[in-house]
């Protein structure tokens, strides 16, 4: 990939030939980029705005990625894992709205009541090991802002790099949502479980 005259040219690493280009109206300052997991498109972060674009290398057409929609509905990460992470985020931020929505989703995903209770009570005793791994990772990332090399290695082995990034993005997304809901004092709907803080 190289930038020249307001155009971002996309090169095929296998053939060494141009596959397409993105026409930009101003110097866009594109930063990091990577192929999508299926290798059919390019993901580019525009450093000036933080926006993520999905680029079709054959046409050069760039579309903005709806990160929230992707994290919640389209990613490859198992929905049950997303729900566990979201519940932990809700509990760590004492966010009633996210907790109410996610406990309902957890029950639909057949998450045991004992797991929901452990998250509510801020412990991981008695959780199945695969659930405890998600709960502890989420808590460490939120509260310690870091995780150990051992934890990262185990998660990479379980999920692979791509889904591990999705898991981390899920935690970040629900943290943003929880802070916004808390700042605006958004209450859970009447039929949702109320988190006692």
Bridge partner residues of 34 (DSSP): 43
Q: Could you tell me if 84 and 135 are in contact, meaning their C-beta atoms sit under 8 angstroms apart?
A: yes
Tokens 């192929």 locate to 35
From residue 168, give the alpha-carbon distance in Å to each of 10, 155, 160, 173: 28, 11, 12, 9
CA torsion through residues 62, 68, 71, 75, sign: negative
What is the pLDDT, as a whole number, of residue 187?
A: 81
Angle between helices 129-143 and 79-92 (to 10 degrees): 40
Strands (E), 17-151: 18-23, 30-35, 42-46, 52-55, 62-64
- Listed as ranges, residues in the chain with pLDDT below 50 are 1-6, 25-27
Q: How many CB atoms lie within 10 A of CB 130?
A: 11
Which domains, and CATH codes, for the chain?
Answer: 2-65 (2.40.10.480), 71-183 (1.20.1290.10)
Tokens at 171, concatenated: 């935690």
What is the pLDDT, as a whole number, of residue 26?
A: 44
């Amino acid at each position: 990939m190289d930038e020249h005259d307001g155009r971002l040219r996309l090169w095929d690493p296998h053939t060494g030939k141009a596959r397409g280009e993105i026409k930009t109206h101003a110097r866009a300052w594109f930063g990091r980029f990577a192929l999508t997991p299926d290798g059919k498109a390019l993901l580019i972060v525009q450093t000036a705005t933080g926006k993520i674009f999905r680029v079709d290398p054959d046409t050069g057409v760039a579309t903005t990625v709806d990160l929230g929609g992707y994290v919640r509905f389209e990613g490859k990460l198992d929905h049950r894992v997303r729900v566990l992470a979201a519940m932990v985020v809700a509990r760590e931020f004492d966010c009633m709205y996210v907790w109410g929505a996610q406990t309902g989703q957890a029950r639909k995903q057949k998450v045991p009541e004992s797991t929901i209770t452990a998250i509510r009570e801020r412990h991981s005793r008695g959780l199945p090991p695969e659930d405890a791994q998600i709960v502890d990772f989420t808590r460490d990332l939120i509260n310690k802002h870091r995780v150990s090399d051992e934890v990262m290695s185990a998660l990479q082995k379980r999920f692979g790099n791509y889904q591990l990034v999705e898991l981390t993005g899920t935690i970040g997304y629900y943290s943003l949502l929880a802070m916004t809901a808390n700042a605006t004092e958004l209450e859970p709907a009447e039929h949702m479980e109320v988190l006692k803080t």
